[in-house]
Amino acid sequence: MKLNAWFPTVTIGNDPSAIRDWAQAAEDLGYEYIEVPDHVFGATARNGWEPRYDAYAPFHETFTTMAYLAACTKRIKLSSGVLILPQRQTGVVAKQAAEVDILSEGRVRLGIGVGWNHVEYEALGCEWKTRGAKQGEQVEVLRKLWTEDLVTYKGRFHDYFEVTVVPAPRQRPIPIWMGGSAPAVIKRAARLGDGWMPILAPDDDGKKALETFHNHLNEFGRKREDVGMEAWLRFHENEPQAWAAAADGWRALGADMAMLYPMWRDESVDAQIEILRRFKEVAQG
């Protein structure tokens, strides 16, 4: 089971050299991917709705950050983790992802989600209730834009006539992995994804979700070995033995990858690098 590194976007600060040092440490430790999270807006609580993070939490912009990380590293792969795709114009995402894929020499994976924050959707002028349906169509359109010379497409959310994304990405197409564990997301990932990235523990709920995923793969005539699975291990405390137990649990269930998703704040870059070192030490099996 390969291990991926969560880019500590909220705590790493704005010093480019610190971001470089952290990324190079992840590469030197042998991590497979750096995953960069995504939010455009922070927002305050309103009308009974509570945000999951502070309105002033500093999320670095996903594609720009991946482009910078591409220049700072040589081997480690780069992923959005996850990009809230239905909030964005599909053609702009296709263009941005293609450019980062070129600059990284083919090291990019697009991790996508539908999000949990209707306030952010509204502020961006995007429809909240149709986000799942839109994401499914976007995946189809992205692959066309990355692989076909001229794209003509008419659907519910897109109307293209002979358009192109040039320069094309190095990978044709760029892999698309889907995050989330809602029933509709699991089914969509099994139908369309190159991989699935749930935030679940390897407990009864995790096993049930994985069984559902496998059943949907069979339903759509896909083989498990052709669709990746990455477990996100979300922890609120710095407890390496708990990380190890979660990683071992997902390894036993057949996960291809695992990533520690720290929910506490270690402000120093040295502390963040130490988290990478300790997770690699206890979880590599």
**For residue 64, how many C-alpha atoms fall within 13 Å in the half-sphere facing its CB?**
7
Measure the CA–CA gap between 35 and 13, rounded to whole angstroms: 17
Q: What is the pLDDT of residues 211-222, one digit of tens each?
A: 999 999 999 999
- What's the pTM value of the predicted model, to 2 decimals? 0.97
Residue 162: pLDDT band with limits 50, 70, 90: very high
pLDDT band at residue 205 under the 50/70/90 scheme = very high
Query: Can you give the pLDDT at residue 266?
Result: 75
Domains of the chain listed by start with CATH number? 2-283 (3.20.20.30)
8 Å CB contact between 3 and 259: yes
pLDDT at 265: 81
**Poorest-pLDDT segment among 32-41, 210-219, 265-274:** 265-274
